Structure 1
């Protein structure tokens, strides 16, 4: 009779460990699926909290909060709301003022046609042909009315519906961003401590360093994109004012917003140049173009790489690819997520290759 087979040794705790891992992954996937509509709001709140945390810590360290810690989080959340709402309110007021003029222009075009604009006569070439085409096509009520009604039927209605739905969606995301931001300010110390502890337990010291590097990249990106973009908008807004660009404040704000995306500012000051040129001011248009090129060249090639690359320790090429790829993938939120991911990958690559790896305990600048 053959001897009995030796008993199979089952490692104690192996099955419960696998079950716990499956439970954690399943619950995490379920949680992400439940919250997927609110993930942009949560991500924006985290980015804003990380960007403003040094200032928040400085003020709360000097003026300690009360026992419930509500005042400072409420003030910072309200300040963030005003930063976004005040420019939108200015744009809305300006749009309301212009709406009546646009409506009157629309009615006059339907009744008497669209007269040839003054800027056509200032074109460097082809002015006579453009003027003749304009008079034959849009200069009489029938042609103008046909064009306006065609635009109204095909594009304006659909655009209005899409614009309205997007506005409602953005408002909901913004409100939940502010709500999340308030709680992040209030409980930020505990959230940061728990996050670093989780990274340390899951990935060791390297995980904590990656988390710190990503947070530092958000600071550098805010300085390099937002602050530099505001500076570009302010400087070019002054140039718009003296050059006679229509609505220089709005154009300056649009330039500041577009300048946060690499190569976005030239589109705005290019339109400003065309508007000034259409008024017949060739010298002013050239000055606006030269000022825009100089300001954006200095910002994109000297100031921005020093601010972002100095903190994230990324070469300018990877900063640029992170920003553009982030915008392509995540929209405006990708301005901050792209460089953060690139910085984390670069840190892991340097650790893997053993080149320029900071010692344990070092923190990014």
Structure 2
């Protein structure tokens, strides 16, 4: 017989749970990134707490402040430099519009077979520059609106990042209690296998974090070498910016492509060609090799499952899918493995005969 009181309590609990999710929905992304950052840097939090004689709150404050300085300073510097580059690009656009293109470089004209054709194409573009600017002028307003929308998205992302840096303090301070609470919930749901799935999720997220951070560090180092060889000023700062941009998909080209364009504007065509090739095949190319290797290293999951989780997760959930995708596939893969190893249910087994007492 159905217990109406118990059913009513369950309905009320589900409604309460849904209302809580509704309240927290605007902060899901910030909470997610704060949790990932705290989890990835938890060994550092543990060492700092030990150095401070177990004062976890002070360690959380110091570590959170360190993250804010580490992230805020490059962002402020990037904002000022981006404004300067936009102003320089605007002036270059006006100079080309008024005075035309400069004379073609000697190395371009001297290329065998195609040098003369490239020179004629250069001169044709120079002659027809006014008509080209007039034809694209109606679209400049649309481009401005698109840039304005992207700027709004970037601004929202910066605010979300700032909120994540604030929330990470609470994950540092209350991390062990949160982990114990989640573990107790899993024990109520799946029993003895709770520890296995906790370790599975933790290991998968750790491998993805190692892959992302490791690949970003490698790309930053390669970018630093390329900028230094090409003679780009501020190579060290640009390397740090490359590390930050490597944390997002297709981020490094946002650094080395403007640097290549700057070399072209200065007439350093040889260095520009080198940096373009270095950026395309070395800086950006290492992402396709190193990241999957580091993510799949040390785990029991097949490499194809990890790759599908990473790239499919990005397509499905955005950048958060970089962590959600492989984690979801890892849990599903483990659940299917547990189900296959379990004893099959004997549906057609005859019922036991009753013995007469």
State the TM-score, normalized to the length of structure 1: 0.77
Q: Report the alpha carbon displacement of residue 48 of structure 1 after superposing the two structures with TM.
A: 1.1
The alignment of Structure 1 onto Structure 2 pairs a total of residues equal to 335
Cross-structure match for 1:52: 41
Cross-structure match for 1:181: 168
Structure 2 unaligned runs (5+)?
A: 343-357
Shift of the 172–318 alpha-carbon distance from structure 1 to 2, 3 Å rule, reads same
Say whether 1:171 aligns with 2:149.
no
Q: Report the alpha carbon displacement of residue 197 of structure 1 after superposing the two structures with TM.
A: 0.7
Structure 1: how far apart are the matches of 2:282 and 2:132?
A: 41
Q: 1:204-238: CA deviations, max 9, x gaps?
A: 12233212211222211111111222122212321
Cross-structure match for 2:140: 152
Cross-structure match for 1:115: 101
Alignment of 1:270-285 (within 5 A): 279-281=268-270, 285=273
Tell me, yes or no, if the aligned pair for 2:104 and 2:122 is still in contact at 8 Å. no
Q: Report the alpha carbon displacement of residue 47 of structure 1 after superposing the two structures with TM.
A: 1.1
Q: Report the alpha carbon displacement of residue 191 of structure 1 after superposing the two structures with TM.
A: 0.9
Q: Report the alpha carbon displacement of residue 317 of structure 1 after superposing the two structures with TM.
A: 1.6
Deviates more, 1:35-44 or 1:272-281: 272-281
Say whether 1:342 aligns with 2:329.
yes
Cross-structure match for 2:202: 215
Q: Report the alpha carbon displacement of residue 88 of structure 1 after superposing the two structures with TM.
A: 1.7
Deviates more, 1:321-330 or 1:78-87: 78-87
Tell me, yes or no, if the aligned pair for 2:227 and 2:275 is still in contact at 8 Å. no
Alignment of 1:1-365 (within 5 A): 10=1, 14-66=3-55, 69-110=56-97, 112-116=98-102, 118=104, 122=108, 125=114, 126-138=117-129, 142-143=130-131, 146=134, 149-156=137-144, 158-244=145-231, 248-249=235-236, 252-253=239-240, 255-256=242-243, 259-260=246-247, 279-281=268-270, 285=273, 289=277, 293=281, 300-301=288-289, 304-354=291-341
Structure 1: how far apart are the matches of 2:84 and 2:250?
A: 31
Tell me, yes or no, if the aligned pair for 1:121 and 1:127 is still in contact at 8 Å. no
Q: Report the alpha carbon displacement of residue 56 of structure 1 after superposing the two structures with TM.
A: 0.9
RMSD: 3.6
Shift of the 155–96 alpha-carbon distance from structure 1 to 2, 3 Å rule, reads closer
Q: 1:315-363: CA deviations, max 9, x gaps?
A: 22222111111211222222222222222222223322339xxxxxxxx
